[in-house]
């Protein structure tokens, strides 16, 4: 006779946990945190980073925190902080009141029924549920995701002011501090020749062999890629990120096939279906993972698994998260069997003030997984209040 395993609600301990972690309240605040310098992309530029800061209160009195990040409003993706707050308040939070935080997969299904897409808003809530459940059980969030296979990550810093001299100074300071020795250069906000000249100046000024990632942010056409990708190779670029617009699968596959430098998919892959389609079409040999694209830590892991099954290597992306969002990413990244390209969770270091009492540790050119239950970090209420948008 086959005996079906009991669900969490069918055991005494499971019933107790579900009651204890039932969600009492979910609230969302808009945070506008100033950055230390201008951060430019192909279609926008920011001096303040926008976050949705989510608080989840459980019936046992435990509070979990999560964060969703945008870049300059609904320009990088369709969500803005205003839209996230509106949809959390009106649709996502009401769907989860009374639901056990420990049943994260079921919570994702509830949110999917309440609102389509809205991946960043959902990921912020999911992060807070993991934080609250981890605190309840007194375990790090990565334990709830399968357990860590690494506790530190090779870190990547993004250079995106557009001023080559300033960027050289910034990069050398990061090396001197022992924080970063790999750099991503944002391209696409100038014409290709200007971008290539800036990249050449950086390459000449940095120590020989410094790994460089070129992020074109969907700014080039296929013709421009054919013309300019060889120059990126000659300048020592080790990885090229999303050179043309997402959705151009056939053209992306042709570009990846021609390029002697690996091409990384980013904006083109959010969903499981997109991961399967783009990986099978060979539009890139590396994939950037971000919670804000995938909607939850569990979905991020499924996207990573689909890509890895096709031989695609993995890169831990970011969207300038504070230590709150960065910690959420690291908890998920720590559980991936492979993360060949490390992570660019540099966001906490670009903020004038981080949003936590004690930020992530950067040392020996690594960013280190925070210790402690849940996300392993504690938001700073004074800083949160300081930068919260007044309703």
> Are the CB atoms for 296 and 104 separated by under 8 Å?
yes
> Are the CB atoms for 359 and 367 separated by under 8 Å?
no
| 11 Cβ contact partners less than 8 Å away, ≥ 6 residues apart | none
Angle at alpha carbon of residue 172, lines to 210 and 239, rounded to 5°: 30
205-233 per-residue burial string, b: 16 or more CB within 10 A, e: under 16 = ebeeebbbbbbbbbbbebebbeebbebbe
Residues found in the chain: 391
Calculate helix-pair angle for 119-137, 323-333, nearest 10 degrees: 80
Q: Which two tokens stand for residue 338?
A: 């492979």
Q: Please give the Cα distance from 11 to 247 (Å, whole number).
A: 47
Q: Would you please indicate which residues are annotated as catalytic (active-site) residues?
A: 186, 344
Strand-pair partners of 363: 366
Q: Which two tokens stand for residue 373?
A: 């239950």
């Amino acid at each position: 006779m086959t005996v079906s395993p009991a669900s969490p609600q069918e055991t005494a301990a499971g019933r107790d946990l579900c009651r204890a972690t039932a969600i009492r309240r979910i609230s969302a605040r808009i945070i506008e945190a100033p950055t230390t310098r201008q951060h430019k992309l192909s279609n926008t530029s920011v001096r303040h980073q926008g976050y949705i800061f989510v608080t989840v209160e459980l019936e046992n009195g435990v509070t979990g925190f999560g964060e969703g990040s945008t870049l300059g409003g609904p320009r990088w993706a369709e969500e803005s902080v205003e839209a996230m707050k509106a949809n959390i308040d009106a649709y996502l939070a009401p769907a989860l009141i009374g639901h056990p935080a420990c049943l994260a997969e079921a919570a994702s299904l509830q949110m999917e029924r309440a609102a389509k897409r809205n991946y960043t808003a959902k990921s912020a809530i999911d992060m807070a549920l993991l934080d609250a459940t981890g605190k309840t059980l007194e375990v790090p969030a990565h334990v709830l995701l399968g357990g860590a296979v690494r506790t530190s990550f090779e870190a990547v810093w993004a250079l995106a002011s557009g001023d080559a001299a300033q960027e050289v100074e910034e990069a050398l300071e990061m090396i001197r501090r022992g924080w970063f020795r790999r750099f991503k250069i944002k391209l696409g906000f100038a014409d290709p020749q200007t971008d290539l000249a800036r990249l050449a100046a950086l390459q000449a000024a940095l120590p020989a062999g410094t790994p460089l990632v070129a992020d074109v942010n969907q700014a080039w056409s296929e013709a421009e890629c054919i013309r300019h990708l060889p120059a990126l190779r000659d300048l020592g670029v080790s990885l090229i990120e999303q050179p043309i617009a997402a959705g151009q699968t056939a053209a992306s596959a042709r570009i990846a096939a021609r390029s002697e430098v690996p091409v990384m998919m980013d904006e083109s892959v959010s969903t499981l279906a997109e991961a399967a389609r783009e990986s099978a079409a060979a539009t890139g040999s590396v994939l950037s993972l971000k919670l804000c694209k995938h909607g939850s830590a569990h979905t991020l892991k499924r996207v990573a698994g689909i890509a890895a099954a096709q031989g695609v290597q993995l890169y831990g992306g970011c969207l300038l998260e504070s230590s709150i969002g960065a910690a959420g990413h690291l908890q998920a990244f720590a559980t991936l069997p492979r993360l060949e390209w490390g992570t660019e969770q540099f966001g906490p270091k670009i903020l004038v003030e981080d949003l936590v009492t004690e930020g992530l540790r950067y040392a020996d050119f690594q960013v280190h997984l925070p210790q402690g239950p849940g996300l392993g970090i504690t938001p700073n209420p004074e800083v949160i209040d300081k930068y919260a948008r007044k309703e």
